[in-house]
Structure 1
Amino acid sequence: MNKLNCVLLVDDNETTCFINRLLLDKLNIVQELLTARDGRAALNLLQERLNTGEQLPELILLDIKMPGMDGFEFFAEYKQRPEFSFSLIVMLTTSQNTRDLEQAKGLGIPYYLTKPLTSQKISDIVDQHFKLKQSNTL
């Protein structure tokens, strides 16, 4: 089965990252899974990988509410850096605030999903944007 080469989870909640990692491992659709605890750490990670020629993420799952640089601040800075404009960014959050949803739409974020991440949610994204051959487990 084909896999995404690299996915980046940006979330300050260690439990959420752990659960999402377990789900993605179970689905077996990611070769390399990276994590960052806030937007600034994610930008630094992307820059480091760009500098070293390492695989850059095809998909970024981004929380909104994080200490330091939040998801919206990350997205705004990410979009200012053309060398990073290669990933699909999915806002993955507990927020159901309509203001957050409207802000995400206004910024051009294509997906706004509420936690928890499920096999159906990730399957829909992969099917629509990456056209991977899916196993029956999805």
Structure 2
Amino acid sequence: MLDTKINLLVIDDDDINIFIIKKIVEKTGFDIEMVSKSNGQLAIDYLKDAISRGATLPHLILIDINMPVMNGWEFVEAYQQLGIAKPVDLYILSSSVYENDIEKTKSYSAVRGFISKPLSIERLTELIKALEAKRS
């Protein structure tokens, strides 16, 4: 187990998906603090604020593609411009079945992979264990 809490940022405009992810987080048994934002711009603002305050940044970010204001791809581009030195595990979490979306994921160095919705307890546990291995 990690010595410290895992900070998870979920960027998704669907309240049902957010609710499901919260329930999955609870069932993993890990100490996870989850913050959700309904679009990429709100998430960028949240990250900029955390950086300016010297607050702990998320260890893991799950990003939906299709959202209002700033979509997932626009978020990733804006995120890369923040110049965050400590790498954060970013994953696209989408219901998209388009091969070009899955391939586009590979074109961003900041994005570690593509996860098809719905997120499962097993998949989130794998992501947390990978974080645990990197941090130990």
Q: TM-score range by the shorter chain?
A: 0.7 to 0.9
CA distance, structure 2, for counterparts of residue 71 and residue 53 of structure 1: 25
Segments of 5+ residues of structure 1 without an aligned counterpart are: 133-138
Map 1:63-74; keep pairs closer than 5 Å: 63-74=64-75
Q: 1:62 to 1:98 in 2, by over 3 A?
A: same
- What do residues 38-83 of structure 1 show as CA deviations (whole Å, max 9, x unaligned)? 1000000111112222221000011011111100110011112213
The aligned length equals 132
CA distance, structure 2, for counterparts of residue 9 and residue 114 of structure 1: 14
The answer as to whether partners of 1:7 and 1:30 remain within 8 angstroms in 2 is: no
Map 1:87-126; keep pairs closer than 5 Å: 87-108=88-109, 109-126=111-128
TM-score (norm 1): 0.87
Q: How large is the Cα RMSD of the aligned pairs?
A: 1.8
Q: CA deviation at 1:85?
A: 5.2
Q: Could you say which residue in structure 1 is the equivalent of 2:26?
A: 25
* Segment of structure 1 superposing worse, 3-12 or 64-73: 3-12
TM-score (norm 2): 0.88
Q: CA deviation at 1:8?
A: 0.2
Map 1:53-72; keep pairs closer than 5 Å: 53-72=54-73
Q: What is the identity percentage for the equivalent residue pairs of Structure 1 and Structure 2?
A: 27
Three-state SS of the structure 2 residue aligned to 1:8 is strand
Q: Runs ≥4 in structure 1, deviation > 3 angstroms?
A: none
Segments of 5+ residues of structure 2 without an aligned counterpart are: none
Q: 1:130 to 1:115 in 2, by over 3 A?
A: same
Q: Could you say which residue in structure 2 is the equivalent of 1:45?
A: 46
